[in-house]
A and B are shown apart, each in its own frame.
Chain A
């Protein structure tokens, strides 16, 4: 529909990053016209499901230096150290800000915020709201954003592509779900905050909406996707559903046990186990509190050795929290109990929880600098869809929620500056693009066609090939097969058929567009993984088992072409922490 929707700043995505960007821009620039588009009501965004906590240095026994070091070593030295320094320095203020905005952080007796241990962190610094941290953060941010009544929200509008004219991003095209109309929303600057793309894999903690939309839209507009080969497997998901059992369960003292009753992590260079009744348990940066990449890899090795349980939904080991007792479980990790009871049919107070590694987070994303700027003028990005990078080859648990705040705010402020400096928009050119997108959606999805494949068939094959070729362990022939398969699926996707050709709230149409996004994300992941012939963090090549700093202390950059993506490399910024061996254990 040709109409007149125009704003100074448009934020795409209403999760933690998007909301933080909105509030930052609205507070600093009350005169600017700010709008937010989200394919779901903001409080449904996937930030809602984060459980464990958000890291920031607040206690006297902690230091900025330690948080920086944990993050950089956790990232297997692929993080940009200037970005990490800035992140760690700004984190405490951001977290206090969220406290002032009402987030119900768990507290110490003296009324100060409480912190808990988390994997890969040498000191307790993870703030938490029981085990519904993301839920509380998201609702606090959303509710606080409601103070800014001038902000225009497009709830349940689905962005399909970026509007690029004169080499500048000038808005997005979006489908209004209720009516099915295709609109151009013009804007002087755009911030992508669309979250991750875990749904490219079959077994994931990610919600249905995490389909990498923003990554794919930026990629299609010529912006590089950075470090896409780094996909985080969380070591403890429920078999079958992939529902996450938070790392906080181990932070509070939960242990991982194999079929022989052994705390098997002691066999994988993660230190010596301290007995569960010893007051020193759990030990930081040790055993169950090692980093996620190493824990997930240990599971795969145990599986090869036949020391895992097997059930109807695949193999698993045991996460045992029984020794914590009912009271502590109810106080600190009540959601874990609720989830295990509902979805695994066991009560963790009395039985161990079955768990296995599950795709959880994408370290990679839209290539940005620390101000959220991309290579496309007018386009900014923040949150899980962006890659600054503070996460490098392996994100530390509880750094991501904080990242949403720090970089959401920075992107909001820099997008505001850009909007001020670039007032002119090419209204006619943008309308032509909108009309073109509307026609192409109509031709592809609103016209019945015979014999097309079902969406689910292509999605399932994509999921399967990603897991086969680009899972926890990878090697040349497997990844190559995946790149070829993804190419084939992209061709088949052109002829996909859908049942629903109507307009109002057509979720089959949006699912189809999401599948197109997933195929692009899958392509970038697979090709980036193929080219990186070393092992680092979450990217483990059995044919190249060692880290190779000479060749690969570099970010990968995947650029879209008509054929296979072009992979380039960019240097990692090293400031004060020269690459060293990653060591864990007491």
Chain B
């Protein structure tokens, strides 16, 4: 068979809140092309075969963070998951695990967006430097301290991989903790304490056993597991510090 005529089967998760009491799977044959990603196959289906298929996507270059789905049981950006990785198929496409489903592959993001807002992901300072005095100086190595945690595209793949988030409603989760850490480690920021209170109150971080599934699935090498680990260490130190009868120098609480 030439690549022209080759096809592959997509088993697609279907759920419509207005008409379905429970989800089902629908199989489609799609043309196989060497350079196609799973998202291309879905778009082909939507254009040519079944306009009712619903999913999110936009940039098609792995940076907007909207096209995450489970592909053969593994959280992936579908614009970066090539059909050729899964041949000869079938390829099962489902919504990201751990989230309520709005429709088909569209998940409900309310909880994630709320938590992201809660950690105060912005620069907090006691005193603002005037714009007239120019930029804050930040050396390349100070930048490197937080750079990795600033690379998160909010794709939520790490939530789909997280064994804690599934069961622990209150858990802020990997990406949000990485984002908090991103600001905590930024030399321009002084909001550490405000954020820490929220993080240390999060029981979820203690359930995290550092299996690191979140970091393994992250398409941007953010390493949220490292952020969670750091938060735990800081929380533990803080706990012991709080038991001391005095404040050690440099530990202003």
A residues whose Cβ falls under 8 Å from a Cβ of B = 40-41, 43-46, 48-49, 58, 93, 96-97, 99-102, 104-113, 132, 135-136, 139, 143-144, 146-147, 149, 155, 178, 207-209, 240-241, 243-244, 338-339, 342-343, 454-456, 498-500, 502-508
Contacts and interface: CB of A to CB of B under 8 A. Distances in A.
Given A100-B128, A102-B122, A339 B61 contact: yes
Nearest to A50: B63
B59 A48 contact: yes
Given A100-B128, A109-B140, A111-B138, A144 B122 contact: yes
6 contacts: A45-B64, A97-B131, A104-B146, A241-B60, A499-B50, A500-B51
Interface string B238-251: 00000000000000
A104 B52 contact: no
Given A207-B58, A342-B80, A508-B46, A107 B51 contact: no
Contacts of A498: 51
Nearest to B135: A99
Given A132-B63, A136-B150, A505 B188 contact: no
A45 B62 CA distance: 13
Interface residues of B, number: 60
Given A104-B150, A104-B186, 7 more contacts: A43-B65, A107-B139, A108-B140, A146-B116, A241-B60, A343-B61, A504-B18
Given A96-B134, A502-B16, A508-B46, A106 B51 contact: no
B229 interface: no
Given A107-B140, A500-B51, A503-B18, A102 B188 contact: yes
B129 interface: yes
B103 interface: yes
A43 B154 contact: yes
Given A96-B134, A241-B60, A499-B51, A102 B80 contact: no
B137 A110 contact: yes
Contact of B137 (A112, A342, A505): A112
Interface centre among B120, B122, B146, B147 (most CB of A within 10 A): B122
Contacts of A507: 46, 54-55
A208 B47 CA distance: 13
Nearest to B128: A100
A93 B123 CA distance: 18
B154 A502 contact: no
Interface of B: 16-19, 35, 46-48, 50-52, 54-66, 80, 102-104, 106, 109, 113, 116-117, 120-123, 128-129, 131, 134-140, 142-143, 146-147, 150-151, 153-154, 179, 183, 186, 188-189
A240 B54 contact: no
B63 A455 contact: no
Nearest to B183: A102
Contacts of B106: 505
A339 B46 CA distance: 26
A456 B51 CA distance: 10
Contacts of A96: 131, 134-135
Given A113-B135, A240-B35, A504-B17, A102 B123 contact: yes
Contact of B48 (A149, A454, A504): A454
B61 A107 contact: no
Contacts of A102: 122-123, 183, 186, 188-189
Nearest to B102: A505
B123 A101 contact: yes
